[in-house]
Structure 1
Amino acid sequence: MHRQGRIRRWTVLTWALASSLLNCQVFSPRHSQVNFVTARRWYHEQQAGLLDRDHFRGLSNIAARSTRRATMRAAQPTPDSFDPPPPRQGDYTDMFCRGTNAFFGQLVIPQIRELVKLQPAGTAGSNLLDKLTAAPETPGISRPLWVVMAGSIPTALIWYGYYKFSVEEELFQAELRKEGRVTGCGGYGTLFPFVFAILLGLMAQLLGFEDVGAFLIAVGSVWILLGQINLYRRVNEIVQDHPSISEGEPVLWEWWGLLPPPLDVIVGVRQVHFLAKVSAAEREEAWEKDVVAEELFPFISTRRFTLKELVRSPRLWFWFCKDVEDFDVPFLRD
């Protein structure tokens, strides 16, 4: 009996020490102190005969489970632990994209880089403000169209720039992890060449160098446009890997990005919608219906359609046109 009592006492005290040391690494000193206090209370209660054997075993099991969970959290890989393979010899696309992202990333002040540093999935909360202010995650955060509109419209599209940075960085990291190579320039390499070109162009114009300023602005505009078309291409590839979302077919016409408004906007909002659905699927999150994309404006969430089909099919336009029959015009037939 005395031997069993000593074993129980040493079990509690050993757990207290191990759990506290572990929690000093994983959690905060306050958690460590709580574990010591709890263990001491159990020890004194057991000494006084206040804990029967079954109760003691139950508490010991709880302690063991708590320690195992803490150990698993401590061992869970983080984005920083990923060591990407080097570019393959002769893969100039991968070399260019990685180099561009790394170069422009170094031009951003460290405090900003730390704020938007890649995080593991689930770091941000699920409410609207959390999603609007979240750093990029892996797998990427699902941002439905209504969320993007809620951030973009009140800020005159300023927040959309952050959305662009985030999804480009998330896709860059996802591609690097899955394929070992990238075909996009990431958040830094896509957004900041555009930002710097526009700022330098405006500065040049203010200083009287009109031609230089116009050239820099044109270069920045072409860069962001090509990046957007490349984004559509990559979203098509990703969506085709999820037959439940796209029936294994592309959902975007990449070249629509070259068309004038509102046609370029149509392909843009479709990209937002389908990328959000794919992100939810890859994070194993339940998809919550997006009323804007799936009810109010059917053209956003339907299968891919042609320009002729869009013009002749009012049911694709707005929710109040869903019962309107297609126009039977010969030159609008596919």
Structure 2
Amino acid sequence: MSDIKKFKKELDTFHNSEATRKSSNKIINVICAKSDNYIGGSADLSGSNGTKCNNHKIISKEDFTGNYIHYGVREHAMVAIMNGINIHDKFKSFGGTFLVFSDYLRPSIRLASLMKLPIILVFTHDSIGVGEDGPTHQPVEHLSSLRAIPNLNVFRPADAIETSECWELMIKQTDTTSAICLSRQNLPQLRNKININNVKNLVGFGAYILYQSREANSISIFASGSELSIAMDVAKNLEKKQIGCKVISVPCQEIFWEQSLEYQMAILCNNTLKIAIEAGNDQSWSKFIGPHGAFFGVENFGKSGKNSDVYSHFGLTVEKITKKILKIINPAN
């Protein structure tokens, strides 16, 4: 645990844009460097998922002394095997695939959650940000679908610091299954550019205020993962028009709903217009934005193209979201 905290501290001076799947791989290297009880793996996507670290040794039919399994294109079998590994007192397991393929392993995830197994599922390529791979590889309904499973924490970090905090929480779990959803595309570092307490594990609150305007706040913008930077830029745009905003990062909805009622009310119970931005469908956001809020996301299958073009096609750009919010505030304009 102290190694993750040390790694997180080093991120205070890390300002390069980086895909959260790559940030996750760095953290896996930190975790596995000093522990031999983690069995990693991937369903034929080790390089893309970033689940294999530098000191992993492959388990084969000739040699069972390793700590990494190439599962092949067998997502359901992978998680079933991970469940079996995790039942053993000594071992904990993590395994990866693309988020869109979580459909193939859903029965095994459900059993892991039912049996209270703290396996860790690493889902990369988590949105339309996949780009050219097109709608067959672009998850849309998957985040909401996973969030519907009891006893499953679904994490979606926005940058390297949030990713490290997610891993810190996941490896501490003893009876809750975890899924971490990570970007293919590079994302800006947000937390180390804001005057915020990075010593605390803020992901541990499920949702937290990342930024708020000096002006009186009339809009609350909720976002996760790759859309958090969009939310930040929308807030800055609205500030230029003297509209105060609060930006709330929501890396794990399940953990947020476990917080005290007082904390939930501090985040949710105000007279602001509630906005949510996530490159998926809206099913898991209604409790945040209420019946009068607005959701910006993806309600149809994705498109093949540059990820920036696909985001623009679905209206997930700073300019388009800002324009629509202004129309909501003042329909006459």
With the length of structure 1 as denominator, give the TM-score of the two structures.
0.29
Q: Which structure dedicates a bigger proportion of its chain to strand?
A: 2
Q: Which structure dedicates a bigger proportion of its chain to helix?
A: 1
With the length of structure 2 as denominator, give the TM-score of the two structures.
0.29
Instruction: Name the larger-Rg structure.
Output: 1
